[in-house]
Amino acid sequence: MTALTLRTPYLLFVGSETEPIYAKTAAGLAQWAPEKCMGQLGLPGGTIDLGLPKHDVATAAAAGAKSLVVGTSAVGGAIPAEWMPTLLNALLHGMDIVAGVHTKLNDIPELVAAANESGARLVDVRVPPKDIPVGSGKKRTGKRLLTVGTDCALGKKYTALAISNRMVERGFSADFRASGQTGIMIAGSGIPIDAVVADFLSGAAEMISPNADQDHWDVIEGQGSLFHPGYSSVSTGLLVGSQPDAFVVCTEALRTHIKGWPDFELPSIQAVIDRTIDLAKVVNPNIHCVGISVNTSPLPEHERAAYLENLSSLYGLPTMDPLQSGVDAVIDKMTNA
């Protein structure tokens, strides 16, 4: 798998972004690796606040920042021209640039020249390893849980991290397995599954979660949604290659349509459960749903507990907000099955 050596601490770059959904890399690092993050840097017009000290390039460099991490990504994963002065300035101050967007830093001549001049590095996280095999479909040892979603950007990574971290705290043998750029930055290894050529998606997923001891759980970060009009192919390849024994459905309270695709309604939780089982049972007939994870942040705080209780009653499954109510009930169900 891709092994990273990133220089810390990070300065998280959020550009002029105003939509939190497109700043999930920065938010994820601030949430799950705060010890690595010394501050944030935005551009005029941006409104993203990660709760970190705000810096410009010069003050961040003086304070010891070693890497500027591109923390936002719009649809398509481009690097806007308005970012270039900031990226060049960071390189000239000796900071590495770390990015997981689809556009490669090392394909931009201006950045390459500045990096060569300063000795700083351009680190493209969204680069899969070479020689990924076609998926075999063969059963692997160990146990696996995959987070699946009704949509993108609603908590699959957070849920997987919360479950794996809590399992370790409780004495289980467990690992978080990253399949996206932010997860890879947090974990230090993984494969950016959406950068893999389609024929090799399931093979890459098999590499993410190799053979393990019989009592070991790999908690695999999900991507996209099986119902997504743009990204369902990635979700399908990851599901089939992961061969999960268990899965958690992730959704967001009050979201009604696919984010960024307003003509497509959000699928029901039951539809996600049914499709996930139908696709995955070819490689693991024993797959089952062990819980529902809900991002309840759109709800008033006093309504969140009742919302979760209603879903739990409706589907007969443990239901949680991993950042609010904990994940123990899901862990109990997956480990006692």
CB 185, CB 123: distance < 8 Å? no
Domain-ending residue, one of 95, 124, 153: 124
- Give counts: helices (H), strands (E), the chain: 11, 13
Confidence (pLDDT) at 24: 87
One domain for residues 34 and 86: yes
3-state secondary structure of 303: helix
* Structural domain that includes position 31: 2-124
Domain-ending residue, one of 75, 92, 124: 124
Cross-strand partners of 288:
246
* Residue 185 in domain: yes
Confidence (pLDDT) at 98: 96
For residues 92-131, b (16+ Cβ closer than 10 Å) or e, as one string? ebebbbbbbbbbbbeebeebeebbeebebbbbbbbebeee
Cis-peptide into 9, omega within 30 deg: yes
CB 276, CB 220: distance < 8 Å? no
Give 157 or 77, the one with higher predicted confidence: 157
Give the total number of structural domains in the chain.
2
* Residue 135 in domain: no
One domain for residues 103 and 150: no
pTM for this prediction: 0.89
One domain for residues 155 and 68: no
One domain for residues 288 and 181: yes
One domain for residues 164 and 266: yes
One domain for residues 50 and 155: no
CATH of the domain at 102: 3.40.50.720
* Residue 222 in domain: yes
One domain for residues 221 and 118: no
Cross-strand partners of 41:
13
**What one-letter code names the amino acid at 182?**
T
Cis-peptide into 322, omega within 30 deg: no
pLDDT digits (tens, 9 = 90+) for 203-223: 999 999 999 999 999 999 999
Confidence of residue 337 (pLDDT cuts 50, 70, 90): confident
How many angstroms separate the CA atoms of 287 and 289, rounded?
Answer: 7
* Residue 215 in domain: yes
Tell me the average pLDDT across 240-254: 98
One domain for residues 178 and 99: no
* Residue 228 in domain: yes
Please report the sign of the dihedral spanned by the C-alpha atoms of residue 282, residue 284, residue 286, residue 287: negative
Name the least confident of 26-40, 73-87, 217-231, 316-330: 73-87
- Phi then psi dihedrals of residue 225, to 5 deg: -155, 145
One domain for residues 120 and 249: no
One domain for residues 150 and 284: yes
- Phi then psi dihedrals of residue 10, to 5 deg: -95, 145
Confidence (pLDDT) at 73: 79
* Residue 133 in domain: no
3-state secondary structure of 186: helix
Confidence (pLDDT) at 110: 97
How many angstroms separate the CA atoms of 190 and 208, rounded?
Answer: 6
* Residue 266 in domain: yes
